[in-house]
Structure formats: structure tokens, C-alpha cells
Structure 1
Amino acid sequence: MISVVLLGAGNVATHLYKVFHNSDAITVTQWYNRHVDKISTYKNEVSVTDSLIELVEADLYVMAVSDDAIATVSEALPFQDRLVVHTSGTASLYDLDAKHRRGVFYPLQTFTKDATIDFSAIPLCIEALKKADYKLLKTLAHAIGSQDYKVSTEQRKRLHIAAVFANNFTNQMYRIAHEITEANQIEFDVLKPLILETAKKIQNMSPYMAQTGPATRGDKQTIKKHLNLIENPQHKAIYKLLTESITETHGRKKL
């Protein structure tokens, strides 16, 4: 049984608590947050605290806090030579205070507090300075049903950038599409099969091969008509930029 102390109360921390709590191989011995009221609803399941001094001993301390707080909180922990990991996509392993055995336990997924998450479908990117600690993180990942990947700090930083493009920027495109459909009294649901098919295609082919649309075809007239219809200047600029990127990628002359 792996004993875990969880630090933080955001989206990632909440989902980690739930999956840890439901695992037969893990026990969450304590949950810390500086504002204990944010985790007080779980006090009948786990010991909660807002005091770092009260932290109990555990096999592992998982810091699911903001990137800016990692160094400060890890320095403030009132012990040393225990395994402390963060869950950040961009923070360095060395942002953790050197008095600890340091590691990273980064779930590569988008987290919203009230959304259901299946950890068996989430890649766990792990890193540690000591072999024994790395082995423990692998065991922890397997205990929640996740596939683990050995990813260095530098690789993880680039991976996080890729994730921003694949998720955050894509979701912003959905938001713009939603705005356009609503402004024209069209149900956004009409686009959902297209969104799902786009995601489905890249499971079996490269994004390059899956690309379709007027920019890929070099359809200048359609692009011109679209630009004339787009009223929002920011949307028009995004359309032009992405069109240019696609045409360059697919070897088309500048449209």
C-alpha cells in the first residue's frame, strides 16, 4: 500500500484524490490546502489540514499546486529526504527544493473539476532522480490504471507546448465556431459529428494526412468568400494565419 499526502485543491488535485481514494493499492493519509474550506467536504473520508507543520509521514507527497507555488511550498515543507513530486507540465524537477527526493508525476490531460475522468486513458509522464523513487512512481501510475512514460524535464516542457496547441488552442477554435453558429441562429450541435470525426481520424493517420479544407485544396475563391463573411477582425486574422500555415505545410502557393 502506497501512502500519499496530497497538497493542493485545484482541478488536478481533486481528480487525483478521487482516483487515489478509489485504488486498493493507495491510501491518501492526508490532504493539505492553505484554504481548508475548499477540501472540507472530504473530511469524513480523509484527514484535511491547512497547516504544513501538521503534515504526517508518507511514502509520497504529491504537490498539485500552481507552477508559481511549487518552489515556495516545497521549501516550506517541514521535513527533508522524503519523496516530493509536482504535477506540472512546465516546471522543472529542480524547482522542487533540494532538501527533498524530487520527482514529477504529470498526467497529460485536460482537467475540469466536475468532469468525469478515466485515468486508464491518461498518459502519466514521470521523472525522478533516484531509481527507487522512479520505480515507486511507476507503481503509483499502474495503481490508478495509467500507462507511464519516462519523460525528462526538457521533453515535458516541449510536450506541454504541444498539448497547448492540441487542446487549449483547439478548444478556442471550438469557442469561435460556437460564436459564429450562435450569431447565425444555428445549433452548435451540428458541428459535433465533424469534431468527433476529426479526432477519430488522427487515431489511425497522421494529422498531415488527415488535413482537408479549402487551404489544403488551394481553393482561393472559397477562402476569399469566407474572409468577406467574417466580421470579427480577430477571427479574420486567425483565419488568415491558419490558412497561411496550412498552405505552407501542404506545399501550396501563397493564397
Structure 2
Amino acid sequence: MISVIILGSGNVANHLYKAFRKAENVSVQQWYNRNIKSINSYKNEVEITDDLSKLKDADIYILAVSDDAVSNLSSKIPFKNKLVVHTSGSVNVHDLDKKHKRGVFYPLQTFSKNADLNFLDIPICVETIDKKEYHTLKALATSISNTVKKVNSNQRQVLHLAAVYVNNFTNQLYRIGHEITESEGAEFDLLKPLILETAKKVQELSPYMAQTGPAKRNDKKTIKKHLKLLKKEHHKDIYNLLTESIKKTHGR
């Protein structure tokens, strides 16, 4: 049985807690947050605390907090030589206080508070400074996920950067698409099968091979019509930028 203590109360912390609760070989010993009201609804399931001095002994301490809070919180943990990990995609493992055995437990997924997720389908990227601690962290990861990868800090950071492109930026493009359809009273929902098919296609083809559309064809008449339809200048800027990127990629 692997004992863990979760520190933090955001979306990642909440989803990790639920996943660990379902795992057969994981015991959540305690849950810490500086504002205990944020985790008060779980007090009948797990011991909660807002006092770092009252942290219990555990195999792994998971800092599921904002990137800016990782270093400071790790320095405030009142013991040393315990395995302390953070869940960030962009924070270096060395940002954790060196009095600890340091590592990273990075679930590569977007987390929203009320969205149901199956953690078995979420890749977990694992990193440790000490090789001896890797096996403990890998065992924790495999208890909730079918995909566990050993990565270094550079690999993790570029994965996080790529995730911003394929998730955050893509979602913003959905938002722009929603604005465009609304401008003429068209239904954005009619685009949802296309969104799903686009995501499905990239499971089997490379993004390069899956690309279609007027930019790839260098269809100048359609591109000109689209730009004329766009009412907002920043929408035109984005359209032009992505069009030129696609044309450059495909040699147009």
C-alpha cells in the first residue's frame, strides 16, 4: 500500500484524490490546503488540515498547486528526506526544496472541476532526481493510469508547451468559431461532429497527413472570401497567421 498526502485544492488535486480513492493499493492519508474550507466537503472521507506542522508520515507528498506556489510550499514542509513531488508541466524538478527527495508526477490532461475523467486513459509523466525513488513514483502512477512514461524536465516542458497548442489554443479557436457562427445566427452545434472527426483522425494519421482545407490547397478565392466575411480584425490576423503557417508547412 502506497500512502500519499495531497497538498492543494485545485482541479488537479480534486481529480487525483478521486482517482487515488478508487485505487486498490493507494491510501490517501491526509489532504492539506491553506484554506480548509476548499476541502471541507471531504472531511468525512479523509483527514483534512490547514496546518503544515500537523502533516502525517507518508510515502509520497503531492504538491498539486499553482506553478508559482511549488517552490515556496516545498520549503515550508517541516521535514526532510521524504519523496515530495509536484504535478506541473512547466516547473523544473529542482525548484522543489533540496531537503526533499524530489520528483514530478505530471498527468498530461486538461482538468475542469466538474468534468468526469477516466484516469486510466490519462498519460502520467514521471521524473525523479534519485533513481531509487522512480520505482515508488511509477508504482503510484500505474495504480491509476494505463500509460506511464519516464521523462526528463526538458521533455516534460516541451510536452506542456505542445499541450498549450493542441488544447488551450485549439479551445480558443473553438471560441472564435462560436463567435463567427453567432454573428449570423448559425448553430455552432453543427460543427461538433467535425470537431470530433478531426480529433479522431489524428489518432490514426499524423497531423501533417490529416491536414485539409483551403490553405493547404492554396485556394486563394476561398481564402479571400473568408477574410471578407470576418468582421473583427484580430480574427483576420489569426486566420492569416494560420493560413500562412499551413501554406509554409505544405510548400504552397
Query: What interval of TM-score do these two structures reach, taking the shorter chain for normalisation?
Result: over 0.9
Matched, 1:250 2:235: no
- C-alpha displacement at 1:146, in angstroms? 3.2
Written as runs of structure 1 = structure 2, the 5 A alignment for 1:83-94 is 83-94=83-94
Instruction: Please name the residue that 1:119 is paired with.
Output: 119
3-state DSSP class of the match of 2:46? coil
Matched, 1:72 2:76: no
Gaps in structure 2 of 5+ consecutive residues: none
**Paired AA for residue 211 in structure 2:** Q
3-state DSSP class of the match of 1:39? helix
TM-score, normalised on structure 1? Answer: 0.98
1:128-163 Cα deviation digits (max 9, x unpaired): 122221001111111113311011001111111101
1:36-82 Cα deviation digits (max 9, x unpaired): 00000000000001110110000000000011000100000000000
Matched, 1:189 2:189: yes
Written as runs of structure 1 = structure 2, the 5 A alignment for 1:146-165 is 146-165=146-165
Instruction: Please name the residue that 2:209 is paired with.
Output: 209
Q: Partners in 1 of 2:239 and 2:215 — Cα distance?
A: 10
Q: Partners in 2 of 1:144 and 1:18 — Cα distance?
A: 10
Q: Partners in 2 of 1:20 and 1:178 — Cα distance?
A: 37
Instruction: Please name the residue that 1:133 is paired with.
Output: 133
- Given that 2:5 and 2:61 are in contact with CA atoms closer than 8 Å, whether structure 1 keeps it comes out as yes
**Paired AA for residue 189 in structure 1:** D
Instruction: Please name the residue that 2:16 is paired with.
Output: 16
- Given that 2:3 and 2:27 are in contact with CA atoms closer than 8 Å, whether structure 1 keeps it comes out as yes
Q: Partners in 2 of 1:145 and 1:81 — Cα distance?
A: 27
For the aligned residue pairs, the C-alpha RMSD in angstroms reads: 0.7
3-state DSSP class of the match of 2:235? helix
Instruction: Please name the residue that 2:45 is paired with.
Output: 45
Q: After TM superposition, which residue ranges in structure 1, 4 or more long, deviate above 4 angstroms?
A: none
Instruction: Please name the residue that 1:6 is paired with.
Output: 6
Name the % identity: 60
Matched, 1:167 2:170: no
TM-score, normalised on structure 2? Answer: 0.99
Q: Partners in 1 of 2:95 and 2:19 — Cα distance?
A: 26
**Paired AA for residue 132 in structure 1:** K
Gaps in structure 1 of 5+ consecutive residues: none
Q: Partners in 2 of 1:145 and 1:162 — Cα distance?
A: 21
Instruction: Please name the residue that 1:240 is paired with.
Output: 240
3-state DSSP class of the match of 2:5? strand
- Given that 2:9 and 2:64 are in contact with CA atoms closer than 8 Å, whether structure 1 keeps it comes out as yes
**Paired AA for residue 195 in structure 2:** I
- Given that 2:125 and 2:148 are in contact with CA atoms closer than 8 Å, whether structure 1 keeps it comes out as yes
- Given that 2:32 and 2:48 are in contact with CA atoms closer than 8 Å, whether structure 1 keeps it comes out as yes
- How many residue pairs get matched? 252
- C-alpha displacement at 1:249, in angstroms? 0.4
Q: Partners in 2 of 1:146 and 1:8 — Cα distance?
A: 25
Q: Partners in 2 of 1:115 and 1:65 — Cα distance?
A: 19
